[in-house]
Amino acid sequence: MKKQTFLLCLLLFLFSCVTVPVYRLDFTLQEPTQSDTLSYSDDSIDVQFQVLNTQIAFDIQNKTNSGIKINWDELSFVSPEGTSSRVIHSGIKLIDRNAPQAPTVIPPNAKIHDILIPSENIFYSDSKFDGGWKETRLFPQDANLLDNSSCSVYFPLEIRGEKKEYTFKFNITVPGLKGGQKK
């Protein structure tokens, strides 16, 4: 028992000495229109995004007099490296990250709140202390790789029986960096 306690204390001490660089990311919506508030509006929808560490949250309002269908299996997240990944949304178990997802219909003049998690960022950890299904960060730890990069969400919707494709492109900047070098 004393050996286990000593090893645990040693591990805690070693890990407490490791520093992970902390930086803030700023996002602006570049497409379909530029917006510092990460929001977009047209005749059919109002959408507001919030980019979080492991997921993208959003509110979408149907401005039409008919239902709008979200086919979740058609949505994708494109990373700063250009890699496209299928996404899951709230209500889907992480273990079911690759299973088909039922569409959601937003009723006329209604709104929903949901999240997007790239399925490639979901993994199983068999760690004794912190095991289970987990999500990795949306973006790499290296701020220099992220400064002046972009990511996007391909977001096709079915509106009045017709498919309308939206691509929401977000520009990423790291305050305090300029051209990959600290100021």
Q: How confident is the model at residue 95 (pLDDT cuts 50, 70, 90)?
A: very high
Which whole-number Å values give the CA distances from 133 to 90, 95, 97, 127, in the listed order? 15, 7, 10, 11
The pLDDT of residue 82: 93
The pLDDT of residue 13: 54
Q: Are 146 and 170 in contact (CB under 8 A)?
A: no
The pLDDT of residue 9: 52
Which amino acid is located at 5 in the chain? T
Question: How many CA atoms are closer than 13 Å to the CA of 89, on its beta-carbon side?
Answer: 21
Architecture of 39-182 per CATH?
Answer: Sandwich (2.60)
pTM above 0.85, yes or no: no
Q: How do the domains of the chain map onto residue ranges?
A: 39-182
The pLDDT of residue 112: 98
Q: Tokens 């993994």 sit at which residue?
A: 123
Distance CA(132)–CA(140), nearest Å, equals 22
Beta bridge pairs of residue 169: 31, 152
Q: What is the pLDDT of residues 4-61, one digit of tens each?
A: 555 455 555 555 544 445 678 999 999 999 988 999 999 999 999 999 999 999 999 9
What mean pLDDT comes out for the span 111-137? Answer: 91
Tell me the CA end-to-end span of the chain in Å, nearest whole number: 51
Tokens of 16: 């407490």
The yes-or-no verdict on residue 1 having pLDDT over 80 is: no
The yes-or-no verdict on residue 154 having pLDDT over 60 is: yes
The pLDDT of residue 19: 47
The pLDDT of residue 84: 96
Cis ω before 118 (30° cut-off from 0) = no
The yes-or-no verdict on residue 143 having pLDDT over 70 is: yes
Which amino acid is located at 1 in the chain? M
DSSP state of 172: E
